[in-house]
Amino acid sequence: MLDPRPLKAVFFDRDGVLNVDHGYVHDAAGLEWVTGARELISALTTAGVRCIVVTNQSGVARGYYGEDAVHALHAHMQAQLATTGGTIAAFYHCPFHHDAVVEAYRCDDHPDRKPNPGMILRGLTEAGLDPADCVLVGDNDSDVEAARRAGMEGFLFPGGDLLDFMKAKLGPRFPT
């Protein structure tokens, strides 16, 4: 039997997967990492596996915070990951929502809003990745559906230790 294809990238939903979802997390003070998340990102980074975040951010459309807050939180996450040798290769966020109170972000079915695969497809294209060499981990069915629509395997994270979960899901594909 041939070895499985090497893993080239892991796409992550953010809230509920990398950080605890306290509801519209948008600043450093509200950031609480999921157990095992930083360790997983560090292990993947060390092994040369790209880590890419794809996150719906309807809080922008709802007027709770601006896109500048999303970028600032991502920069803060990146700085914290750097202390353990981890890095996120790219962050993609979708601020659009059908119930937006901010008119500029109102859209019934934006191609980036999961379960649509727009953010994932952009990440694949910009990094020159084959979806067969990638997986996505999310905490909602819409995340897994977006992965399926992009042609990659998706894992539904039920909570707990993200590192242990991904070791179990990836098996021999987990980089060592």
Residues with a catalytic annotation lie at: 13, 15
* Residue carrying structure tokens 């069915």: 141
Integer Cα distance of 142 and 127 in angstroms: 23
> Which residues fall within 8 angstroms of residue 32, CB to CB, at 6 or more apart?
19, 20, 22
Q: The sheet that has 134-138: what strands, in order across it? A: 90-94, 50-56, 9-12, 134-138, 153-156
Single-letter amino acid code for the residue at 93: H
Q: Is 160 left (phi over 0), alpha (psi -120 to 50) or beta?
A: left
In this structure, how many other beta carbons lie within 10 angstroms of the beta carbon of residue 110? 18
Amino acid type, 63: G
